[in-house]
Structure formats: C-alpha cells, structure tokens
Structure 1
Amino acid sequence: MYKWSLKQFDFKSVSRLTTGNQIPEFLAKLLVIRGIDTPDKVERFFNGTMEDLHDPFLMKGMEAAVTRIVEALDRKEKIIIYGDYDVDGISAIVILKQFLTEAGGDVTYTLPNRFKDGYGVKVDKLIEERKQFPFRLLITVDCGIKAVEEVNALTEMGVDVIITDHHEPDKELPDKAVAILNPKVPGSGFEHEPLAGVGVVFKLVQALSQRTSLTETLDFALKIVSIGTVADLVPLLSENRILVKEGLKAIQKTSTRGLEAMLESCNIDRESIASVDISYKIAPRINALGRLGDATNAIEMFTTNTETDAREYAKYMNRKNAERQRLEKTLESMVMNQIEQEDMENTRFLLLSGTDWHKGVIGIVASKVQKKHYRPVGIVSIEDDMAFGSIRSIEGINIIDVLENFESLLSSYGGHQQAAGITLKRDNLQALKEGVNEYLFQHFPEELFTPKIEIDCEVEFSLIDDVFYEQLKKVEPFGIGNPQPVFMVKDVIIETEPELINGRHIKFEASDGLHRFEVIGYNKVHLDERIQKFESADLVFSVEKVKWNRRMYFQLNLVDLRRR
C-alpha cells in the first residue's frame, strides 16, 4: 500500500501568481510547488529561449578547450572523440562529431564495449585506435573526470586530452588535461546547472560556433541534446528545460534522416513529439545497443545522410530492443523466483545473484524490483570467482554513502545516490548482503521503506476540460525536477466493471455524476480487486489527451485508488 502525500505550498505565493497574472489556481499551485513562485520566475519558466542560455565561456576550461580544438582544425590534426555507451554519451558523440566534421575536421570516434572494456577511458583501446588513426587530440564526452592515470599515460604518448563530463569528480583531477569541462568541478562557473554529459558538449559546440561562425549546426545539436538530456534523467529546470523545450520544437519543425527513421520506427508523430516519447520509446532502443554490446549503430544512424541506411539502422535498433526485452523478461522471472525464498519482513536490502546473468539488463531488472518491493535492490551476475552488480536505491538512502562502509568487501564501486555499479569477489556476496541489510536497519527509520505517492493538488472532474489541458501543457516538458503533475479526486463513482487489457493493465470509467472519464491503469492489474462497479472511490491520476478512431478525449492515467 502506498502512502498518499499531498504536497504543501505557500498560499501567499499562489495568491501572488493568480492576482493579475491570468494564472488559474491549480496552475499556480503546480508552479509554486516547483519553486516557480514569482512572476519573474514564471516568465522565465514559460518563455525561456535560447537567448536566455548562459554564455558558454563562463564555464571554467572553455577558453582553453576551444582554443585547442580550433588549433587542431587549423592544423588538420586528427581528432578522436571517446564517449560512453548510453544515450547521453552517444548523443554527445553525435553532436561533437557532426560539428567537427562540418568544420572540416579530420575526426573519428570510439566508445567502450560494455562487456569487453567496461565503463570509462581505456588506454589499451585508444592505443589500438591510434595505430589506425594517429590522433593528436582526444576529447572525452560523458566520461573521463576520474581518469587521472589514463590522462597522464596519454599525455606521455604525446596526446592532448580535453575532458568533458558531468559526473562527480574525485579530490584529484586529471590536471594534465588541456581543459576540463564539468559543471561539478569546484569553481566551474556552472555549479548551478545540472547539465547532462551531452549538455556540456552542447555548451562546447555553442562556444565553438561563436569562434568558427558555424551557427547553423546548432539546430542539429539542439535536436540531439534534447534526447540525451531527457534520457539521462537530469533535472529539467533552467538550461536543461530550455534545451529540451527548444530541441523538441526543432524536431517538430524539421528532422534529419536519422531522426526521421528513429521516429518512424518508434511510431512517434514528429509534430507532437514530447519528452515522454524520448523516455519510453527512443531512449530504450538506443540504450539496448549499449546493453547488448555495440552502440555504434545509433551514432551511424543519427549522422548518416542516406535514407535507406537510416531506416536499416533503425530496424536494427528495434531488433536489438526486442532482444533486450526478452533477456530482461527471462532474468526478471529468475529474480522473482529467488525473492520468493527471501524473508521480506527482515529484509531491507535485496541482493540477488546468478551465474552468467546478462550484465546488460541487470540494471533495468534492479529498477523494476526496487519499484515493486520498495527497498534498495542489487542484481549481480557471477562469472567464475567474480561478481558484477547493479544496485538501485530508494529516496532518502544514498547508496554510495552506504557502500563506503563496506569498501573492504568491494573490488570497485561507483555511481550516484540512487544507482551504483559494484564489482566484488563471489565469496564476499553474502557478507555484503548481510552487512548492508543490518546497516539499513540500524541507520534508517521504518517509514522510509513505505512507498509514497506525491500528489500535486486536489481537483474536481468539472475542472478537466480543454482550457485546463492547455494550461497544463505549459508546464511541459516533464521529467526529473518537473514531473508530470499528479492529481487527486475524491468520492467519484466507478461506473463500469474493470476491463483487463493484455493481462497487465486495467480500464474502467468513473464519474462525479455529471462528468465521466475513462481511467487506464497501466501495469495496475493488482488494483483490480479494489475496483467495484457503482462504489465510490478516491483516485490519484495524471491527465492525458488521446486520439483514437479520429476522436480526441481525456484519459486519466491511474496512479492509485482507494475505496471509500
């Protein structure tokens, strides 16, 4: 059972926004809850444009980075881009490669294989690349901030390195790099901007365009940065909000061959694309390539000029995504069987393991189990005497801080508050499981392990109409830091028996006597027993406008339900 929590807001701030600003009360509440509590902030939130982006040269290291890249372009030096294999890293490679190519650069890229190389800068891989492509300048994207030894080694080989990253730095930085671009580095000048890795690269391209007069390439970069930013789950506020909002607008107007093929393969209408399409359709397909080994096809798709090639790359991505889904379903079944053997009342940390579980999908399955059982979850693949795992935590528990107490059991670990990767000896698995479980019992209160639904505000069915929806759309794009608004309505009547869809979803109709809506509960089949025709209930939901058989209507996407 979920705990329902109605978000609190400052009434004076709501009143300040509604008075003389033509902002309805429900919208004012949504804005104030999100920290948009003055008319000036509202103006920036609703109407921020590219002109409101900060000068990229305010970022520490930008001048040095741009100077070295322009020098490499002028001298016709070979440049290699090294990125991560997720959507953020792939998007960053695409943007930078496209810009440098159009600037006349002799440029290529490489990225690690999840299984052969692992995450981060790999010197051995770059040495092999250099035999075929003798580069003088290496630019990392979405990685490299912790690559102190690697940068030292590359520098000794005569390679200049520029680091672009957004991950948390260690105390020691790769200071032998020509430049470090990372908002999280102290004194970066961008500490207030939670940019994704692709966002940092966009700032670099923005700066380069000012020096090279290649401003037309920013339109392409803007489209791609919106995809990487949404996919990397960074807060969609401030610059990130502008980049995503303007990027989606750019995609709606015109597209590239690669983007068009991607949208077509995902059944996305280009003219109405939204952040949710990136989260649930585009990002999983791109990520599937990296999860299963080689993500280069995504880069080639976005940069090709050939329609036939673009479609083939998109079809290949669809096939890989289907393969990823099959692997995920198989692993999820094995994990759920293990959970049945667990003493859940005395378990606050689930650590589940198996021999040769597919490392490309353990993170997704860990997320699913975490959401279902609401506690930190680790899924581990055992290979010989070593174990490789992915952990997903819950709100209020910084899993990295927890793991610091068990460093002696771990060969390596890293990540951020809610997600971590671990490597350890197989023999240490049980000790880690018991140790973390005991630590969570000792240091965290029981109520933290009760899942909570955050409700933005209470509404009446009579409020939900075209005017309401147009106001609601002003808050888009939705994502981390600006989630899709969740509403509550009390004491409505269940008008129909719940209909089961595909064995996982439920559908019914509800009304207040005058206004009637279709309610869909995606993956909410467990709520079926709570829904009785002609009984009254309280609903928690989000609002969507859907088109079906040439008819437009409002659909309430069910979050939870309580019988009265």
Structure 2
Amino acid sequence: MEKRWTTIHLPGLPRVHDLSPALVHILLSRGIPTDQMHSFIQAGPALIRPSLALPALQSAISQIQRNLERNVRITVVGDYDADGVTASVLLYEVLKDLGATVEILIPDRHRDGYGISPQIVERINTDAAGHHQMIITVDNGANAREAIARALELGMEVVVTDHHTVHTPPEAVIMVNPNNPKCPYVFGGLAGVGVAWKLARELLKVHHCEEKAWDYLDLVALGTIADVSPLIDENRALVQLGMEKIKRNPRPGLRELIKRQLGYRLGKENGGSLSIANGSSITSELGIELSPYDIGMYITPCLNAAGRIGEVQDAVRLLLCQNQTEAAQLADKLIALNQERRRITEQGLKEAQSLLASTKEIPNIICLTLPEIEESICGIIAGRIKEAYQRPTLVLTQTKDRTWKGSGRSVNGFDITTLLPAVAHLAEGGGHPQACGVSLNDTDVDAFLATVQAFGEERITPQQLMPVIRVDLPVQPKEVTLGLLREIKKLEPFGAGWEEPVIGLRRVAVTGGVMGQTGEHLRLRCNRSGLIFKGWHMFSKYRHLGLPSVVDILGRLRYNFWNNRESSEVEILDLRSHRAASNG
C-alpha cells in the first residue's frame, strides 16, 4: 500500500544548551517547545502532576478513608487485561498495606463478560453475608450504570476509577476518570493503572507514607505499555520511572517471566535456566537493556493471555507472589498460554484473510463475522487486519448463548468510538479512540454490518485511510553514526504516541538485493559511506520498483553487532525510486 511521506520544514534551528541539533530538530518537529525540552528528556517526577488535580479524586479519598477507619470490607473489581490486572494488584497491595480487609475480583471473560455487572454485584453481596461492603472499580465502570445502581440499592458504597470514554455514566457515585466529559482532566491519556496509582498515591499521603507510591510504578509501567497508552506527558515519566524499577529489582514473578522470555538474547533456549539472584539488577545479569518494546512484545502478552484463554487469577498471582519456585511455575504457565494464544490467533487470522480475499471491494470500515473463533482474540485479529489494510476493523464472533461480541481497532486519524452512537440502537459498546468492544443480538447482526458500512462510506475520507510516515530528521548517509543513535536513545521511552524517530535519506546510491533464505527480505548498501539498510519483507517492493540503484529511504536507526564490532544501520520503513519520487 502506498504511503504518504510528510516532513516538517524548520527554517531556523535554535540552539538549546546541552542538546545536539539533531535532538532539537526532532523535538521541535514534534511540537516540544525549547523551554520544555530538558524536562521532557529527563522524564522525571516533575512531569507528574499532583494527584488531587484529577477531578473527584479528593472525594474518592475521603470515602475510602472513612471506610478504612470503619474496617469495611473492600472489593477491588478489575478488568481481565494487563492494564486491569496491574491496576487491581496495585490497589490491593496499597490497601492491604494500610490494614484494609480487601480482595480482588476480576470477572471471567467467558462467564461474566467485561467489567462490573449486576451479576458481579450480586456475587459480592452474597459473599459479604450481610456485612457492609465497599466496591472500588479499576479500569472499568465508566458506563456500568445498571451495575452501580444495583450496588447502591444493596447499600454498598462505590468508587469508580476508569479511563475509558464515558457514554452512560453511573449516577449518584464518585467517578475518577480523566476522560469524564463533566470534569475532564488536563491529560486524558492515563491508563487505568495510572488512574489507580494516582488514587493510591494520595491515599498513602493521607497516611504519611507518600514515598511508598514510587514502589508501585513497575505495575504502572506494565499496564500503561500493555494498554498502548500514549507515552507522552505524565505517562512518559510514569513509564520511565517504572522501567527503572523493573530493571533494578523486579518483583519475583516478573523476574521469572523476564528471564524466560528474554533469555533467548543470551542464546539460551530456556531462559529459566539462567541463575539470577533476587535483589540483583536483571539488566546487568542478563546483559541486555530492557526497553518498553521488550515489555510490550514479550512480557505483557503473557499477562494478557491469562485473561484471554486461561485463568486471569494466574496473572494476579504471578504479580503478587513472593516465592521464587511458585513464581517460576506461574511464569511457565503464562508463557504456555501465550503460545497457545498465538496459535489460535494465526488460525483466526487465516480465516479473516480468506474472507477478505473473496471481497470485491474493501470497505472503509472492515467488519468481519468469524463465528468459530475465540472471543478473546477478536481484538488481536482486528489489529492485524487494520495494519494490513489500513482500515478501521471490527471482528465479531458468536458466543455460546448465540449473542455476538467483538472488538475494533482503528487507524490514526479516526476515533472508532464515534461509530458507537450510530449503532447504539443495535449494540452496546465502549472503548478508546483506537480500540472498542461491542456486543449485540444475533438478530441484529445484518443491520449492524450495514450500518457500519454506511457510516464508513459517509464519514471516512480517502486521506484518513492512506498511511502517513512522518519524517523527524532528514539526514545524509555519512551522518548516520553511533553518535546519532546514542543521541536518539536519549528520547526514550518510545511507544504509542511517542514512536522512535524516523530518519529520511534522499538520493542514496545503493547496491544489494535479497537477504535471507526465504527471499523475502532486503539488504542494501550505500555506495559512498557503506551504511547498511535492512528491510524486513521488503524485497518484493524493491523488485516492484524495478530494483532501482538510487533510492529515497525512510527508516529507524538500529545497532548492529558483528565480529565484536558495533555499528549503526537503518531498518527500512519505506523506500522509493529516487527518479519516481522526483517525478511524483
């Protein structure tokens, strides 16, 4: 698919003390003012706003504190994804540390569905056996009007903490949500665990131990990365500080998971064989620099797998356990679950691709009905199809009770939750601008599909569907050095909303061709500087261009280690024939 390249031209580059021109260029092109550049790069506590700046948080603290003083039993109701699990564990540990009688209840994806529901409330009430109860939701509850109403009817006290878009907010209850339209917060990008941490931090402050809040930032980093929340503003500091804690001394369960999942970097087929003592730095022992990419690619999918196809309590137990033997067993179990999740995902993806191959024209919003797949992988498949076709995508499957449930994923530039009001008469749903979930009756499926297609044709423009690559830094091949790579690493952590910078090179004379045994990959070498460019699954595109000898390339810098020699190279994101680009 053709991609549009954009470059922000900066007529004059100001000097900023202690920052290289390359960093200043990247930061300015991304809208960071010169007077904020140093604090942005440092990503320290100064970026984190006072917790009480979050609307309704003071009221929530007062209500929770009152119940702590009365020793009221508290149930933390979470969500089954990694954001919900980390938020549940965080609040549980803090409340337990403060002497509360507290337990975690995370609904089973298949039996209970998403978030707090009237059935969950009834279960809590039954377990309470007539004792006074308090419910605190994390990463859910923003639209649980019926469930909250039932809890209040039963005499329970409820505090909702969430970050999802609010459509049908519960009434007569305290809700801490940065995206509550009635009282929005200055930064709406906090994950559910980020909201829970702000609540916990202020609660610890009431008990004169606010400094303990920093000990829980490992959980905040995990949940924020897993939920693909934007790594800007406060999230940048929360993740940076959380990553430092993970690297320095991760909790036992996380340590075992990292050992196994990342041990391959040391050539170990079984990372569990690595001997890393508790209390030591896992990065120094493994000899790697753990990054948010590693967490999002190899660690949090294992936590998510428990909620998708296993028992979510295994993920909770992994994060809570203090016994190394138990932690190792749980890590092995979650890794096995994730491997199975990957297998069934590939099966479902093949089915989705087969459906699309028989479609004459790809609609602006892809909506697929795959009745046999696991509900838990709908979002993953939707994300993969979205990436392949650059279209907002919904994937639906049929449940045992004949209803349909599914997930949607969107492209940049289109808020998928704007679709939900148009289908509200047919389906229930909620989510973020880039992701949503829906459920509907079997009899409404055809009307739902037609409504989604009509909405896409009316509301989505061709420009929104064309992938855009923004060039952060135009360079010459001779400027691509280890020094430049080290400069760019100062802008970490990278992730959603703060991606690795893209460099652009024009009119590069190259030689090279196919790389790898499968003939899929591309390797080019700059004739003048010797700089290496590698493009995964890109040889077919290069061949389609006519194997040009002069190209324009967009890519990202990478380290290369070969024969004990360190160098920089470029991972290709896109390329064009320079002649074609000039003519275009």
TM-score (norm 1): 0.91
Paired with 1:193 and 1:450, the residues of 2 have a C-alpha distance of: 26
Label 1:532 to 1:280 Cα distance change in 2 as closer, same or farther (>3 A): farther
Question: In structure 2, what is the equivalent of residue 107 of structure 1?
Answer: 102
Paired with 1:324 and 1:363, the residues of 2 have a C-alpha distance of: 12
Note the 1:293-312 alignment, pairs <5 A.
293-312=310-329
Question: In structure 2, what is the equivalent of residue 157 of structure 1?
Answer: 154
Q: Which deviations, in whole Å up to 9, do the C-alpha atoms of 1:198-224 show, x marking residues without a partner?
A: 111111111112112334532331111
Question: Is 1:530–1:562's contact at 8 Å kept on the other side of the alignment?
Answer: no
Question: Is 1:379–1:389's contact at 8 Å kept on the other side of the alignment?
Answer: yes
Q: Give the unaligned 5+ runs of structure 2.
A: 264-281, 579-584
Question: In structure 2, what is the equivalent of residue 364 of structure 1?
Answer: 380
Question: In structure 1, what is the equivalent of residue 6 of structure 2?
Answer: 6
Paired with 1:436 and 1:175, the residues of 2 have a C-alpha distance of: 30
Displacement after TM superposition at 1:379 (Å): 1.7
Question: In structure 1, what is the equivalent of residue 231 of structure 2?
Answer: 236
Give the SS at the match of 2:558.
Answer: strand
Paired with 1:155 and 1:146, the residues of 2 have a C-alpha distance of: 15
Displacement after TM superposition at 1:385 (Å): 4.7
Partner amino acid, structure 1, of 2:19: I
Note the 1:177-192 alignment, pairs <5 A.
177=173, 179-186=174-181, 188=183, 190-192=185-187
Note the 1:338-487 alignment, pairs <5 A.
338-344=355-361, 347-383=363-399, 385-408=402-425, 410-487=426-503
TM-score (norm 2): 0.88
Displacement after TM superposition at 1:64 (Å): 2.5
Mean alpha-carbon deviation: is it higher for 439-448 or for 138-147?
439-448
Q: Which deviations, in whole Å up to 9, do the C-alpha atoms of 1:402-460 show, x marking residues without a partner?
A: 3433434x232322333222223344434433443344334433333332222223211
Mean alpha-carbon deviation: is it higher for 200-209 or for 440-449?
440-449
Question: Is 2:76–2:136's contact at 8 Å kept on the other side of the alignment?
Answer: yes
Mean alpha-carbon deviation: is it higher for 184-193 or for 374-383?
184-193
Paired with 2:444 and 2:206, the residues of 1 have a C-alpha distance of: 54
Label 1:180 to 1:441 Cα distance change in 2 as closer, same or farther (>3 A): closer
Question: Is 1:288–1:320's contact at 8 Å kept on the other side of the alignment?
Answer: yes
Displacement after TM superposition at 1:559 (Å): 0.9
Question: Is 1:494–1:508's contact at 8 Å kept on the other side of the alignment?
Answer: no
Indicate yes or no: 2:349 matched with 1:315.
no
Q: How many residues align?
A: 553
Question: Is 2:194–2:224's contact at 8 Å kept on the other side of the alignment?
Answer: yes
Question: In structure 2, what is the equivalent of residue 31 of structure 1?
Answer: 27
Displacement after TM superposition at 1:391 (Å): 2.4
Displacement after TM superposition at 1:20 (Å): 4.9
Label 1:388 to 1:107 Cα distance change in 2 as closer, same or farther (>3 A): same
Give the SS at the match of 2:470.
Answer: strand
Question: In structure 2, what is the equivalent of residue 510 of structure 1?
Answer: 525
Question: Is 2:190–2:229's contact at 8 Å kept on the other side of the alignment?
Answer: yes
Label 1:280 to 1:203 Cα distance change in 2 as closer, same or farther (>3 A): same
Q: Give the unaligned 5+ runs of structure 1.
A: none
Displacement after TM superposition at 1:58 (Å): 2.5
Give the SS at the match of 2:262.
Answer: coil
Note the 1:161-310 alignment, pairs <5 A.
161-170=158-167, 173-177=169-173, 179-186=174-181, 188=183, 190-215=185-210, 217-267=212-262, 270=283, 272-310=289-327
Indicate yes or no: 2:551 matched with 1:537.
yes
Question: Is 1:88–1:231's contact at 8 Å kept on the other side of the alignment?
Answer: yes
Partner amino acid, structure 2, of 1:29: H
Aligned residues with identical type, % of pairs: 25
Question: In structure 1, what is the equivalent of residue 274 of structure 2?
Answer: none
Q: Which deviations, in whole Å up to 9, do the C-alpha atoms of 1:287-334 show, x marking residues without a partner?
A: 111121432111111111101111111111110100110000001111
Paired with 1:137 and 1:435, the residues of 2 have a C-alpha distance of: 41
Select which of 139, 146, 149 maps to 1:142: 139
Mean alpha-carbon deviation: is it higher for 202-211 or for 247-256?
247-256
Q: Which deviations, in whole Å up to 9, do the C-alpha atoms of 1:378-412 show, x marking residues without a partner?
A: 2221347532222223233333323433434x232
Displacement after TM superposition at 1:23 (Å): 2.7
Indicate yes or no: 2:341 matched with 1:327.
no
